[in-house]
Amino acid sequence: MARPKFRVFCATMMMLNLLVCVLVAVSWNLKLGGSDREAVRIPSARFWREQERSRSFWNKEQQLLDFVHSPVFRSAPPGWLNDTGPLDPCAPDHRVPAQIQDYNTLPQHLQDFLLHMRCRTHPVLIERPGLCEVAPFLLLAVKSMTPHFDRRQAIRQTWGRAGLRANRTVVTVFLLGGAESTDHHPDLRGMLGHEAERHGDVLQWDYRDAFYNLTLKEVLFLEWFGRSCPGARFVLKGDDDVFVNTPRVVAFLEGLTESRARELFVGDVISDAEPHRDPKLKYFVPESVFAGRYPPYAGGGGYLYSGELALRLRNASRRVALYPIDDVYTGMCLRKLGLAPEKHNGFKTFDIEEKYRSNPCMYRSLMLVHSQTPQEMMRIWSWITSPELDCQ
């Protein structure tokens, strides 16, 4: 009799345990169904909305690039590819005049830029292989033009002197395009070839070297950097009429933490700027070409950034439509990376106050000053390198 009673007892306990579990589950669900539980919200509209196409030409080009490189959209919406231009990106894009209402009233150089803004590849005319055979600590990349022999030579004798600075390797390269007869220059190719052979620091591409092609020079430099000088730790990119306090730049770079050095981009930053709409101005860009405000950007006279960031900028530039103002374009590429340039008071891309221009100690405290003649470069360099200069 004991064994049947034991079986009845076990069955009763199992039923009780089951009943307790059911009651706990019911009470928990009732609690969640009360005020403590948020109602499930069902979206009333599609998550992905079709983007409205811009009326400004550059913005339309950028929207198309965004679709091409998007990880979500593998193709543009219907109708967006009807005006993709010629198969050869370096052929004149004759669809442009029809897409820009006031095209025929634009300055000739801006018309030329718009006709060729998809072209990003040009043959190299002069290059010295092995320029970065020893990865430099600092690469000085100087934007120049063929006739500027005196500026390049002044830089070689002063702040751009290649070699060692504070036991750090410094390499200088001058970035040039071609000079056409329409630019009213004499044929200087022989002189330039002799200069390049003697100094080995000239990099020239076969395209028209003009103001609105400075962005093209930026893109070509970044591609060259990734191919021929990817080991450079830092890059200072500037015009051939700036003065750079190279010893101070090297000292600044040596004091950086590793994390800051990787994403370094410093200069004379311009924020919240808008395009100039006056056709008489050098930087004129009409609303038919670009709509919106500019991202923060460093003045093109000169800025300093890491080699690691230069490689990332190269990749970003492939996803940003060329823009006719090079420093703004670099700001656009930075924004594409989710970054912004950092303002540094040592960069004076609009010169310094006149009352300080004859003060040697002022230049010793700065890193870059724009603009200077070759004679001024020589004088300032003699000031800041003089062991007798006491700036205490």
Provide the Cα torsion 199, 202, 208, 212; round to 10°: -120
Q: What is the pLDDT of residues 73-124, one digit of tens each?
A: 555 566 655 556 677 889 999 889 999 999 999 999 999 999 999 999 999 9
pLDDT at 36: 46
How much is the pLDDT for 14? 62
Q: Which CATH architecture has domain 124-181+191-384?
A: Alpha-Beta Complex (3.90)
Q: Which pLDDT does position 27 carry in this prediction?
A: 54
Residues of the chain with CATH 3.90.550.50: 124-181+191-384
β pairing state of 242-244 and 168-178: unpaired
The pTM (predicted TM-score) of the whole model is 0.85
- Phi/psi at 376 (5° precision): -70, -35
What is the model's pLDDT at position 32?
45
297-306 vs 234-239, strand pairing mode? antiparallel
pLDDT of residue 186: 85
Which pLDDT does position 67 carry in this prediction?
85
Low-confidence ranges of the chain (pLDDT < 70): 1-51, 72-85, 180-184
Q: Closest Cα to residue 66, out of 308, 303, 273, 319?
A: 319
Please count the other Cβ atoms lying within 10 Å of the Cβ belonging to residue 74. Answer: 8
Lookup result for tokens 């004129």 = 284
